[in-house]
Amino acid sequence: MLRGVGAGMCYLSDLGYVHRDLAARNVLVDSNLVCKVSDFGLSRVLEDDPGAAYTTTGGKIPIRWTAPEAIAFRTFSSASDVWSFGVVMWEVLAYGERPYWNMTNRDVISSVEEGYRLPAPMGCPRALH
């Protein structure tokens, strides 16, 4: 399942898009467990420069899935989508548990800025965390 999400995100990146809202809630799963990335409402096209980033000044962002630099500077790139993919991996391995389940959004922001990372879900293989 995660391989399908990763392949979809790689495809978007190759096309020059940044998703900005990757989360398990935005992944469609069919009866064969084939996963498709969905909900492109926040996605944007990046410049031709592969290192480009999209900067925004307003609107709400999904704090629990958003990379620290994207929260701090409202700058989104393929790298910030990779962070979100890591949170999606955590969600899948934690059987749909809410990331940072015991924290407020404000607590998530300050904790991540201070270096806190989600703990390995129970039964998660060491190679994945």
Catalytic residues: 21
Q: Which of 93, 51, 41, 97 minimizes the C-alpha distance to 76?
A: 51
Contact predicate 61/92, CB 8 Å? no
CA triple 52-39-54, angle to 5 deg: 15
